[in-house]
Structure 1
Amino acid sequence: MVLPCPVNARRTSLREEQKKQTRARLVEAARQLFAEQGYGAVRIDDIAAVVGCSRATFYLYFNGKVDVLREIGAEATSMGVARSFENLEHALRTDSRTEFVAWVRQSIAWFEENKDLLPAWDEAAVLEPEFRAVAREGIAAMATGMTGYLSRWPADRREEAALRVELLVAQLERFFTRWALHGTIDVSAERAAEVLADIWFPALRIPGTEPG
C-alpha cells in the first residue's frame, strides 16, 4: 500500500522547487545582462525586472551583483577547469608535447565557450575588491591543486612551479582576449596552440628532465 504524502510535505517540496527555479532564473538573467552590457552598467533592478520579481526578492537569494557573478563564474569553471588541469597534469607527467598542445587547444575552446562573460569578469575585478580576491584565489587554487606536478619539483622551487602555472593561465587569458575579443592578433587557434606550446612546454618541465 502506498501511503499518501502529507500535504505540508508536498507544499514544502513545491516551495523549495520554486525557490530553485527563481534562483536559476536570476542567475540566467544576470548572465545575459552581464554579457550584453558588461558588469558596471547592470543594476540589481535590471536583473529582477527580467525575471519579473522585486529587488527584495533578489536579495533573498544573493547579497549583490558580485555574489551572483561569483555563482555564474563557479558554474562556468567548476567541472571544466578541474578536468582541464587534470589533463594538463597528465601531459606534464607523461612529458608529451602532443598532449600539451591538445590541452592548450582545449583551453582556447573553453575561453571560446565563455567569451561573452570575460569582459564582465574583467570589469568586476577592477570595480569589486571582493571579486578580485575571488579571482586571485581561483587562479592560485588551479596551480596548487596540481599536487602531483608540484611534488616532482625540488621542495625549494615548488612556489616557483605554481607561479609558472599561474602565469601560463594569465597569458592564455590575455592571448584570448586580444585574439577573439579585440581582434588584434591574427592567427588560427591551431597555430596559436603550437606557438604557445613552444613557449610553455619547456617552461613547465620538471628541472632535470631531458627534452623529449
Structure 2
Amino acid sequence: MTTLRQQQKQRTRGALLTAARRLFVERGYAAVTVDDITTEVGCSRATFYLHFSGKPDVLRRIGAETVQQRAVSVYADLDEVLASGSRAEFAEWLRRAVDWFERNRDILPVWDEAVALEPSFRPIATEAVAELPAAMPRYLERWGQDRDDEARLRVGLLVTQLERFFTRWAVQGTLDTGETDPAVTLTDIWYPALLPPEQRHSTESD
C-alpha cells in the first residue's frame, strides 16, 4: 500500500512529465530549461532533480512509454503479419504504422532534436530502435542466428525510412504522393526486403 508521501511524489513526477512534454512540443527541446519545467509545475529545481537527472532523462521517460508502445503494438504486429505471408496484410500494417506516427507526431520532432543536440541522448535513441526487432522473435528465427545482425539491420532501415517518409509527407509536406497509395509502393520495397532470400519466391502473393 502506497503512503501519502509516495502518492505525492508520484503526482509531482507525473506533473513534471506532463509539463515537460507540453513545453517541449510547444517550444522545442533546446528552448526549454529545467527552470521552465519547474516553474510550470510550481516546484523547486531540487525537487526536479529528485526525480530526473536532467532534460535528457525527462525526455527519455516521456519517450519510454511511446517507444514501448511502438515495440508492443506496431512491431509485434509486424511479426504476425510477416508470419502470415500476405502482401495485402503487410500493406495494411504499413497503414497502421503511419497511423502510429500520426498519433505521436507532436513528440517525434522533439526526440529528433534531442538526438542532434545531446550526445548523451543518442545511446537512448539507438537502444529504442534496437529494441524493436526483439518484439519480432519469429522474424528473427526465420533469418537464423548466423544472419541475426542483417535481420536486425533491415528492421532498423525500415524504421528509418518510415520515419523519414512520414516527416517529408505528413509533417513537412515536401513529398507529394499524388494519387498513389504510399502503402502499396512501400510494400513493393519492404515486403520482399524483410523475407530471407530463400523465402522470397515461395511466399503467397495476393
**Could you state the TM-score of these two structures normalised by the residue count of structure 1?**
0.89
Q: CA deviation at 1:202?
A: 1.0
Give the equivalent residue in structure 1 for 2:100: 110
Give the equivalent residue in structure 1 for 2:53: 63
Which of 91, 99, 108 pairs up with 1:101?
A: 91
Distance in 1 separating the partners of 2:179 and 2:139: 26
Q: CA deviation at 1:62?
A: 0.6
Unaligned stretches of 5+ residues in structure 1? 1-8
Give the equivalent residue in structure 2 for 1:6: none
Determine what percentage of the aligned residue pairs are the same residue: 52
- Pair member with larger Rg: 1
Count residues with an aligned counterpart: 202
Q: Secondary structure at the match of 2:195?
A: coil
Which of 159, 171, 174 pairs up with 1:169?
A: 159
Distance in 2 separating the partners of 1:158 and 1:189: 38
1:56 counterpart letter in structure 2: A
For the 8 Å contact 2:76–2:136, the answer to whether it is kept is yes
1:184-199 equivalence runs, <5 A: 184-187=174-177, 191-199=181-189
Give the equivalent residue in structure 1 for 2:146: 156
Q: Secondary structure at the match of 1:183?
A: coil
1:44 counterpart letter in structure 2: V
The Cα offsets for residues 5-64 of structure 1, whole Å up to 9 and x where unpaired, read as xxxx9xx71111111111001001000011011111100000111111111111111110
1:92 counterpart letter in structure 2: L
Distance in 2 separating the partners of 1:73 and 1:83: 15
Which of 81, 98, 121 pairs up with 1:91?
A: 81
2:31 counterpart letter in structure 1: A
Unaligned stretches of 5+ residues in structure 2? none
Q: CA deviation at 1:137?
A: 1.2
For the 8 Å contact 1:153–1:207, the answer to whether it is kept is no
Distance in 2 separating the partners of 1:34 and 1:25: 14
For the 8 Å contact 1:85–1:146, the answer to whether it is kept is yes
1:30 counterpart letter in structure 2: A
Which of 194, 203, 206 pairs up with 1:204?
A: 194
Distance in 2 separating the partners of 1:204 and 1:126: 29
Q: CA deviation at 1:154?
A: 4.2
Distance in 1 separating the partners of 2:24 and 2:134: 30
2:11 counterpart letter in structure 1: Q
Do the aligned partners of residues 133 and 32 (structure 1) sit closer, same or farther apart at CA in structure 2, a change above 3 Å counting? same
The Cα offsets for residues 76-119 of structure 1, whole Å up to 9 and x where unpaired, read as 12234212111101111111112111211111111111111111
Correspondence 1:19 to 2:9? yes
Do the aligned partners of residues 189 and 35 (structure 1) sit closer, same or farther apart at CA in structure 2, a change above 3 Å counting? farther
For the 8 Å contact 2:34–2:45, the answer to whether it is kept is yes
Do the aligned partners of residues 54 and 184 (structure 1) sit closer, same or farther apart at CA in structure 2, a change above 3 Å counting? same
Give the equivalent residue in structure 2 for 1:35: 25
For the 8 Å contact 1:30–1:47, the answer to whether it is kept is yes
1:26 counterpart letter in structure 2: L
Alignment RMSD:
1.8
